[in-house]
Amino acid sequence: MLDLKKSDRNRIVIFDEASGERKGVYYTNPTASQTVRYSREVVQKKRNKIVFDAGESLKSAIRYGAEVLTGFDDFNLKENADGTYSPIDGDYAFGFDGQPISCNPESPHYRGDWKDLFQESAFHVLSLVARVAFNRVRTETADEEIVFGEEETEEILPLAKS
């Protein structure tokens, strides 16, 4: 069931390639106006062409990911046999200068600037959050293929004369 109630505790579990760890991050449902702005910035129409600029798309994903990110689990996660995730106590998910950080104001490791730190050093997480939050559905029977950049075509060589 698709729950239409707005929530700021939508959780996704990411696998961080750099650390080899699973981390839980939370985001709020984007508003319709945020979704429209994000979509306009990611893919733009210029004259009669649709333009996709990977650099600008990444900048937009980082900015909007920061807008909807609401927090993260303090500890890294382990996957249980039933497919759920549990925290690994004492194994902090994020840190700064060798010290663990938390987004929870009641934690002794709380950093009020945690979102700024994400924008500086965990922009890959913000980008992923934006892509999940803003691109939540897809068609099951997509007949069209979107090609970014030049479409590759196979060069057909003439047959050699014998």
Read off the tokens for 60: 């937009």
Q: What mean pLDDT value characterizes the chain? A: 86
Delimit the domains of the chain by residue range: 10-134
pLDDT at 2 over 80: no
CA distance 45 to 31: 22
Q: What is the mean pLDDT of residues 84-110?
A: 97
- Give the pLDDT band of residue 96 (cuts 50, 70, 90): very high
Question: Cα dist. 89→75, 141, 148 in Å?
Answer: 6, 43, 44
Enter the pTM of the model: 0.78
Question: CB within 8 A of 123, min separation 6: which ones?
Answer: 62, 65
**Phi and psi torsions of 112, nearest 5°:** -65, -20
Least confident window among 23-32, 84-93, 130-139: 130-139
- The answer to whether the Cα torsion of 35, 37, 38, 44 is positive or negative is positive
Q: Determine the average pLDDT of the residues in 74-82.
A: 96
